[in-house]
Chain A
Amino acid sequence: MTAAATPELTLMEGAAAIGEAAILAGCRFFAGYPMSPFTPLLEHLAEALPAAGGTCINCESEIEGVNMALGAASTGARAATGSCGQGIALMQEAIAEAALNETPMVVFNLARNQQDYFQATRGGGWGDYRTITLAPKDVPEAIEHTQLLFHLSDLHRAPTMLYGDPLLAQTRVGVRLEKLDFGPLPPKDWELDGTRGGTGQSRQVWTWAMGKATDPGPGPDLHWQNIAAKFAAINEIEQRSESAHCEDADTVVVAFGSAALFVEHVVAELRAEGHRVGWFRPITLWPFPGPALEEATRSARRVLVYELNGGQMIDDVRQYAHDRSAIRFIGGVSIHESGLSYGPLLDAPVIRERILAALPEGDPR
């Protein structure tokens, strides 16, 4: 962490704070296509990134934007794009491509009206790749995660994702924009700069990694095996999670992102009333913090999964919870009538009711 003076507290919209965090992280290229609630991030960077010496393009499609970011990143620059839902779906090809040709970039997924866990963690591209995905619960965490993602992208030479939502993008919060240092990174000895033409040492960024006739590369078989092994190794070292009150809890509530913020609040209330409830929050959606979840649910007789969808993260909870029979789904699809944000299920009293309904008659004992 830096030893500089503490930055001032500034009132900022979440999307703007994320944009400023990207600039702090040295992002020099951004391309995006308007799509709510991601749009404010594009608008902020359209103004702020050129002022910081970078390039922001309002591209003509999501496919173009993510491929522009890939091209920019192939030169060694820190590059990013973003969208949500359908737009992220369009970007799957290029995200897989970047994973397979080992090009770092950050994808800002400011999701819209449900928690698109499957899309973020399973992806829709081809090949044995995974996408490191961080799901901040609030804007201050998003500022940290944005910078961490640029670091992790460069460290692992892979595209990464920030998973956000309308609350994250649109809430105005007091934030401190502090530049974070996550440690040394390997040099980008793979970046294209055009200077090696005719030397026999010219470089390629290529999913098939065949190399040159005079200097063959590993080829698709060995290269893709290496990529799969790389993600298996990342799985072991980049899991992140947070939990509270789980040691003696007989009920643990699992949630991520903004939903987890609500759960944290409700669980604190229930604890104060004597219920032995705890919460567990995956911070990395991938790699999913399975071992930590297993530990946190060790004594739980009820593992309540609260997510705003038809049940997606619950698949990973089923894989790792200490007692699979203890798992119950207390979330659901809940969409605002406009289609553009969450519906009535994202509400502390509603969450409280659902948790209480899952507790045994007469709780607390």
Chain B
Amino acid sequence: MVPIEAYIILSTILFVLGAMGVVLRRNAILVFMSVELMLNASNLALVAFSRQWNVIDGQVFVFFVITVAASEVAVGLALIVTIFRNKQSINIDELHMMEG
């Protein structure tokens, strides 16, 4: 039986990789995909804790997180498409709309 620490460490590694993707990549779609990776890593930790204590609530939370991720992707990709239509680019370094 794999100890729960192993799952939490794996979840941390995936989360950090996702965070680095958010910080380092310039392609807005890649940034979004990295956010999905971070959500997924936290889901893994929730499921691991759920198994550890034999309480189903963690899995129900994962269910909600997946739903929130789906709605976030729908709105986020719509934003990206709109930005691309206006700027002809989805490079987030070239987007300075909020600088005033």
A and B associate in one complex: no
